[in-house]
Amino acid sequence: MTKLAFIGAGNMNGAIISGLVNKGFSPKNIIVANPSAPKREALSQQCSVLNTHSNIEAVDFADYIILGVKPYLIAQVCADISSNTSIANKCFVSVAAGCTIEQIQQALNSKQPVIRVMPNTPSQLGFGVSGLFASDEVNDEQKQQTSELMESVGIIKWLNSEAGIDHITAVSGSAPAYFFLFMEAMQNKAIEYGFTEQESRALVQQTALGAAQMVINNDMPISQLRQNVTSKGGTTQAALTTLIEGGLEQLVTDAMDSAVKRAQEMAKE
Ligand X SMILES: O=C(O)[C@@H]1CCC=N1
Q: Which residues bind ligand NAI (CB under 6 A)?
A: 7-13, 33-36, 39, 55, 68-71, 73, 77, 95-97, 118-121, 173
In order, the DSSP letters of 193-218 are: TT--HHHHHHHHHHHHHHHHHHHHH-
Q: Are β-strands 154-158 and 114-118 bridged in parallel, bridged antiparallel, or unpaired?
A: unpaired
Strand partners, 224: none
Residue type, 246: G
Smallest distance from ligand X to CB 173, Å = 4
Contact status: 8 vs ligand X (CB under 6 A): no
Considering the complex, state which of residue 34 and residue 174 has its C-beta at the smaller distance from ligand X.
Answer: 174
Residue of 52, 94, 124, 174 interacting with ligand X (CB under 6 A): 174
Smallest distance from ligand NAI to CB 34, Å = 5
Q: Are β-strands 4-7 and 30-33 bridged in parallel, bridged antiparallel, or unpaired?
A: parallel
Q: Which stretch binds ligand X (CB under 6 A): 106-114, 151-159, 166-174, 244-252?
A: 166-174
What does 267 bind: ligand X, ligand NAI, none (CB cut-off 5 to 8 Å by kind)? none
Contact status: 173 vs ligand X (CB under 6 A): yes
Q: Which stretch binds ligand X (CB under 6 A): 2-10, 104-112, 126-134, 167-175?
A: 167-175
CA angle 108–114–116, rounded 5-degree value: 120
What does 77 bind: ligand X, ligand NAI, none (CB cut-off 5 to 8 Å by kind)? ligand NAI
Considering the complex, state which of residue 52 and residue 120 has its C-beta at the smaller distance from ligand X.
Answer: 120
Residues with Cβ within 8 Å of residue 262, at least 6 apart in sequence = 98
Cα–Cα dist 5/23, whole Å = 18
Binding mask 91-130 for ligand X (x = CB under 6 A): ------x---------------------------------
Cα–Cα dist 66/59, whole Å = 9
Considering the complex, state which of residue 112 and residue 200 has its C-beta at the smaller distance from ligand NAI.
Answer: 112
Residue type, 87: I
Cα–Cα dist 4/170, whole Å = 27
Cα–Cα dist 9/35, whole Å = 9
Considering the complex, state which of residue 96 and residue 190 has its C-beta at the smaller distance from ligand NAI.
Answer: 96
Considering the complex, state which of residue 164 and residue 173 has its C-beta at the smaller distance from ligand X.
Answer: 173
Cα–Cα dist 94/37, whole Å = 22
Binding site for ligand X (CB under 6 A): 97, 169, 173-174
